Amino acid sequence: MNGLLNVVDVEATCWAGNPPPGQVNEIIEIGLCVVNLDTLERVERDRIMVRPARSTVSEFCTELTGITPEEAAAGVSFAEACERLRRRHRADSRPWASWGDYDRKQFQRQCDGPQRYPFGARHVNAKAVFAEAMGVRRQGMADALRTAGLPLEGRHHNGSDDAWNIAALVLHLAERGQWAASV
């Protein structure tokens, strides 16, 4: 079929309202699940905690993601996280997918400057592919799992768990022959 695919989901600093003055949304967790599209299985899982440089983890963010300020502060720098994606997961040459375009755009925002974008050009919006293949409106990941008759595994809004669940949706489509043309 198409070999390996990186499925990525990020969590970023967030607030109940607008960011406090001087703070911006920053990636604090990168969840990744490697999918083997030839064998139709999830073959690797990774969680990279990223130390925010221009924001703090709010109480709202902790409630949503489960990530504490201390856990984020103990993470690696964004540059180190990008290097790990390139080195360990071949992110610059392997196709990748995310649920919607938020993750891709967040990486692009944070790589606007000296930080090199860690991914290659082949990105697939799995949310759009799922909606078209299933004949439904674009929906959140949890609703898509229900539509597909798949369980939500782990905690929603945990990057690692969400990447794992999105990978299950990708495999659901691949098993139906509705993913290959996307990559």
Range(s) of the domain holding residue 9: 4-178
List, for residues 87-100, the tens digit of each pLDDT value. Answer: 999 999 999 999 99
Could you give the 3-state DSSP secondary structure of residue 29?
Answer: strand
pTM of the model: 0.95
Q: What is the total count of domains within the chain?
A: 1
pLDDT tier for residue 181 given thresholds of 50, 70 and 90: low
pLDDT tier for residue 76 given thresholds of 50, 70 and 90: very high
* 164 found inside a domain: yes
DSSP per-residue codes, 152-172: PPS-TT-HHHHHHHHHHHHHH
First vs last C-alpha separation in the chain: 10
Does position 28 have pLDDT exceeding 60, yes or no?
A: yes
* 183 found inside a domain: no
Q: What is the mean pLDDT of residues 140-144?
A: 98
Residue with tokens 């902790």: 62
Name the burial class of residue 20, with classes exposed (0-12), middle (13-18) and buried (19+) by CB atoms within 10 angstroms of its CB.
exposed
pLDDT of res. 21: 96
* 92 found inside a domain: yes
* 145 found inside a domain: yes
* 57 found inside a domain: yes
CATH number at residue 53: 3.30.420.10
* 134 found inside a domain: yes
* 70 found inside a domain: yes
List, for residues 103-126, the tens digit of each pLDDT value. Answer: 999 999 999 888 899 999 999 999
Mean pLDDT computed over every residue of the chain: 96
* 161 found inside a domain: yes
pLDDT of res. 114: 85
Length of the chain: 183
**% pLDDT > 90, the chain:** 95
In 18-158, which residue ranges form alpha helices assigned H by DSSP? Answer: 59-65, 69-73, 78-89, 102-110, 126-134, 141-148
Residue with tokens 């969840």: 31
